[in-house]
């Protein structure tokens, strides 16, 4: 067996380079772990927020439907104007749109959380 006694610092340089590569890989791995943790946390809290917003949007939609029903009844009893009915219809349409958009955002956020945790996303 032959062991080199004098290599001009080549072996030390190779060892230092390998250690530097390892440190870089460990740092990149740590950064990736932190980024994944951040994505999961953000998706989770967004999902919580949207689940609360769904309830609010649903209540707004119900209130707008009731207001439209009352506007129709007042118009038929000649206690209100056609403008009241149109305004109530607009409010109901906005409430339905907001509810639908909130449901869409919730499902999108749910898919983002599934993706962030590595769960298979349904097409």
Side-chain half-sphere CA neighbours of 114 within 13 A: 11
Looking at residue 1, its pLDDT comes to: 58
Looking at residue 24, its pLDDT comes to: 92
**Chunked in runs of 10, what are the mean pLDDT values of the chain (123 residues)?**
64 86 92 91 91 94 94 89 91 96 93 83 64
Contact between 106 and 54 (Cβ < 8 Å): yes
Using DSSP, state whether 109 is helix, strand or coil: helix
Using DSSP, state whether 88 is helix, strand or coil: helix
Give the global pTM: 0.68
Other beta carbons within 10 Å of 68: 20
Looking at residue 81, its pLDDT comes to: 86
Measured distance CA(116)–CA(89) in Å, rounded = 40
The DSSP letter of residue 5 is S
């Amino acid at each position: 067996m032959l062991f080199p006694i004098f290599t001009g610092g080549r072996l030390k340089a190779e060892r230092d380079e390998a250690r530097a590569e390892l440190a870089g890989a460990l740092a990149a791995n740590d950064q990736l772990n932190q980024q994944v943790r951040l994505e999961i946390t953000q998706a989770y809290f967004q999902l919580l927020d949207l689940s609360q917003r769904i309830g609010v949007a649903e209540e707004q939609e119900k209130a707008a439907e009731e207001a439209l029903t009352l506007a129709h009844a007042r118009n038929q009893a000649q206690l209100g104007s056609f403008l009241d009915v149109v305004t109530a219809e607009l409010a109901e349409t906005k409430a339905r749109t907001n509810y639908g958009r909130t449901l869409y955002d919730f499902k999108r956020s749910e898919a983002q959380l599934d993706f962030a945790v590595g769960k298979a996303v349904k097409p």
